Amino acid sequence: MTRLRLGLAAAGVFCASLALAQAGDPRRSGYQEMGPALRKMQDDDTANPAMLFVQAGAAAWAGKAGAAGKSCADCHGDAAVSMAGVAARYPAIAPTLNRAVDLDGRINLCRTTHQQAPALASESDDLLALGAFVALQSRGLPIAPPDDPGLAAVRTQGAALYERRQGQLNLSCANCHDDNAGRKLAGATIPQAHPTGYPIYRLEWQSLGSLRRRLRNCIVGMRAEPWDYDAAEYLALEAYLMDRARGMLLDAPGVRP
């Protein structure tokens, strides 16, 4: 029953995305740019390989951790209720830190403060699994970044990074994802850089990965020196990209070429 419900929800995302495009919004998600075979793989929770991570994340949600001996569920209860819409609102300002964090950062903040457990390593399977499980609870909901003045400087930095040329190829994110969106690169359609499906399972990676991993991929593709995984530049780009995608529907955890 659960698998059927989730599969129907994913199909609803596609239909709603089409309705959004037909309503005059020129934005297209990476999901909409894929061929029917990959869309079918994402829509079917029994075929979507990211769902293996979701299952691990569900177990981690219920499992007790750290010196406090608490689980995520002890504080948040039923994730389908408490986490609905959460992934669509990050990055956000964490009041206890007075700075922006992404969803992975928020998960680790809960671990270190409430569970008294070590933070999970960036891009680790454990962190990706929890992130995928939480993101699934927002599937089909509109991306809704907070209207927090504290995020303005972060988004401005992200916008500047998006437009900045770098690397041996002297390219910017905008050169590909604005100027050449919809065209082909190595047989794949260049998307418009709307992060609706993260974390995603990329067939190229044969694994689940975060938006930071995808951004790092792009920077390496420009023949530029990538930043460390925990660098503030990735957070700034994510904040800007999520704001660009405001109102589009989350389809995480996605599948991409």
Same domain, 122 and 174: no
- Kindly state whether residues 155 and 240 are assigned to the same domain: yes
Q: Do 132 and 164 reside in the same domain of the chain?
A: no
Q: Which residues pair with 98 in a beta bridge?
A: none
* Same domain, residue pair 150 and 242: yes
Catalytic, 173? Answer no
Same domain? 158 vs 175: yes
Q: What pLDDT does 9 receive?
A: 54
Please determine, for residue 238, whether its predicted confidence score (pLDDT) is greater than 50. yes
User: Which one from 72, 75, 173, 218 is the annotated catalytic residue?
Assistant: 218
Q: Let me know whether 35 and 60 are in one domain.
A: no
**Number of domains the chain contains:** 2
- The closest alpha carbon to 245, from 237, 256, 234, 253, belongs to 237
- What angle in degrees, to the nearest 10, is found between the helix axes of 232-244 and 211-221? 100
Nearest to 242 by CA among 115, 129, 155, 132: 155
User: Does the pLDDT at position 38 exceed 60?
Assistant: yes
**Considering 136, 157, 188, which residue would you say is the last residue of a domain?**
136
Q: 78: domain CATH number?
A: 1.10.760.10
Q: Which of 115, 136, 157 is the last residue of a domain?
A: 136
Which residues have CB under 8 Å from 102's CB, separation 6+?
Answer: 90, 91, 211, 212, 235, 238
CA 224, 127, 253, 205 torsion: positive or negative? positive
* pLDDT tens-place string over residues 97-141: 999 999 999 999 999 999 999 999 999 999 999 999 999 999 999
Q: Let me know whether 87 and 156 are in one domain.
A: no
Same domain, 113 and 179: no
pLDDT at 93 over 80: yes
Q: What are phi and psi of 107, to 5 degrees?
A: -60, -45
Residue range 170-196: mean pLDDT, rounded: 94
Nearest to 93 by CA among 153, 168, 44, 41: 153
Label residue 46 exposed, middle or buried (CB < 10 Å: 0-12, 13-18, 19+).
Answer: exposed
Verify that 59 and 7 share a domain, yes or no. Answer: no
- Same domain (yes/no): 59, 186: no
Spatial separation of the C-alpha atoms in residues 98 and 165, rounded to whole Å = 30
Question: Do 127 and 146 fall into the same domain?
Answer: no
Host domain of residue 238:
2-49+142-256
Residue 90's identity, in one-letter code, is Y
